[in-house]
Chains A and B, each alone.
Chain A
Amino acid sequence: MVTAPVLLSVRNLTKQYGDRIVLGGIDIDVHQGETVTIIGASGSGKTTLLRCLNWLERPEHGDVHLGGENIGHAKDGRAANEGELARQRRLFGFVFQRFNLFPHLTATENVALGPRRVLGMSRGEAEARAIKQLTRVRLAEHLNKRPSQLSGGQQQRVAIARALAMEPSIILFDEPTSALDPELVQEVLDAMRGLAAEGMTMVVVTHEMRFARGVADRVVFMADGKIVEEGPPDVVFNAPRDPRLQRFLRHLEPSLT
């Protein structure tokens, strides 16, 4: 994995709300095809980091590079305007904790909306692409249902298909299973595992330690807005060095690790 080229490169990323420093200078590289999971206690800045990567929130300082793009900046280095930012954002897929599906649209329409309105495809093309992605997450039987007619696990898979339909370079997952009933977690993790196996580059903020252990190429532990420790899952979980990580792992339910 380490031999693959760096796709996402983050340098000295900082974010604060008022006086409170949420991200205190983050440096991280994610390689092509790599699955990185970010773990840490709530309030450690994991979600904010993810949201700063695709500029859903504006970081104060630092750089995010994805491929050849300096996110938030135009080619000439000035601040990106709305259109440029929108174009850069769609290089990232984003899967939200609470799905955020569009309730007025069916599963197919949810997934086709981006290809149709953002990529400018015809209705037929966009729907074909939507159906393909929904089939990929095993939802071919639910194409014409609205979100309210789907279970949480199905909704989150529609959300994954919606992200995939934009053919992003990387997908960011923000605690994708935290809002789900326990029995629905597995189907979402399976879909994500499938993507990882296909070589999708993914950054996953999660509390699912089994996923972090079993699927991730690398685990990043955050505390107080900083990356405290990172490494392959077996090293991070079996031989944690930082006392905060040791404490974090001790407090997890044994069954989850």
Chain B
Amino acid sequence: MFDWSVVAYAAPLLAHGVVMTLQISIVAGILGLTIGLLAGLASLSGIRVVELLVRGYVDFIRGTPLLIQIFLVFFALPVVGLRLSEYWAGVVALALNSGAYIAEVVRGSVGSVEKGQSEAALSIGMVRRQVLWWVLMPQAWRPMVPSLTNDLITLTKNSSLLSVISVYELTRAGQAIISTHFAPFEIYLLLALYYYLLIAVLTWVSRRLERSLPTW
């Protein structure tokens, strides 16, 4: 039956995993936002080659499973001489993955700013780059927040996949306990609860952030 003593035993032990998951999510999130912002802006740059490169990157990420992407970063990069630790391979894979989705969010939000705004900016002699930076981006932040939150939630949950390359995050920590105490039901339930709480905090922060951004 449900073994409460395992739960009581595992709950504090998993704290280390929670910290790791949080850390991975934050680092990968910051990297992913940076990649996504740059790639999103690049996809609007009007420079054909750059736009095609971003298109290819986004298509590749969207068209392949994250698990495969993690393995590619972990096993394929060493072939070209880049050997990353499990931790960094995982972080990089997650960042590249979320960066592609974030690039699409950036592109979509900037593109949804009313057309008259670009025209007004062009009419005072701005070039595309200036229009993007001074007129469109400042108006695109707020509508971006809900979609970005979704992407960061997905990233946090996806970090559990890093357990397959032995990154000792929350899921991996849980599995370690399962392998010695044979209580998969209790532990996975506990893991679910931990993830749920992490996401709840993230959602709360995002709502606060969205409300604090100006609406004009």
Interface residues of A (CB under 8 A from B): 54, 56, 82-83, 86-87, 89-90, 92-94, 96, 98, 100-104, 113-114, 117-118, 146-148, 159, 162-163, 166
Contact = CB atoms under 8 A, between A and B. Distances in A.
A90 B123 CA distance: 6
Given A103-B216, A104-B214, A146-B216, A117 B130 contact: yes
A117 B123 contact: no
A94 B126 contact: no
A89 B122 contact: yes
A104 B114 CA distance: 13
Contacts of B127: 82-83, 86
Given A83-B127, A89-B123, A117-B126, 15 more contacts: A54-B123, A56-B119, A82-B128, A89-B124, A96-B119, A96-B120, A96-B123, A98-B116, A100-B120, A102-B135, A102-B139, A104-B216, A114-B126, A118-B130, A159-B120
Interface string B100-141: 000000000000001011011111111110100011001100
A89 B116 contact: no
Nearest to A110: B120
Contacts of A118: 124-126, 130
For the complex of A and B, 8 pairs with smallest distance between CB atoms: A90-B125, A114-B124, A100-B120, A94-B123, A100-B116, A103-B216, A118-B125, A104-B138
B134 to A, nearest CB: 6
Contact of B120 (A92, A101, A146): A101
Interface residues of B, number: 21
B124 A162 contact: yes
A147 B216 contact: yes
B139 to A, nearest CB: 6
A102 B130 contact: no
A101 B119 CA distance: 10
B139 A103 contact: yes
Interface of B: 46, 114, 116-117, 119-128, 130, 134-135, 138-139, 214, 216
A102 B131 CA distance: 11
A257 to B, nearest CB: 30
5 contacts: A87-B125, A98-B116, A104-B216, A113-B124, A146-B216
A98 B121 CA distance: 14
B116 A96 contact: yes
A166 B120 contact: no
Contact of A102 (B46, B117, B122, B214): B117
Most buried by B among A87, A101, A103: A103
B216 A89 contact: no
B122 to A, nearest CB: 6
A37 B46 CA distance: 36
A101 B117 CA distance: 7
B139 A104 contact: yes
A30 B23 CA distance: 66
Nearest to B133: A117
A102 B135 CA distance: 7
Contacts of B114: 100
Nearest to B128: A82
Nearest to B134: A117
Nearest to A82: B127
B125 A86 contact: yes
Nearest to A83: B127
Contacts of A114: 124-126
Contacts of A102: 117, 120-121, 135, 139
A92 B128 contact: no
Given A100-B116, A104-B216, A86 B134 contact: no
A140 B46 CA distance: 39
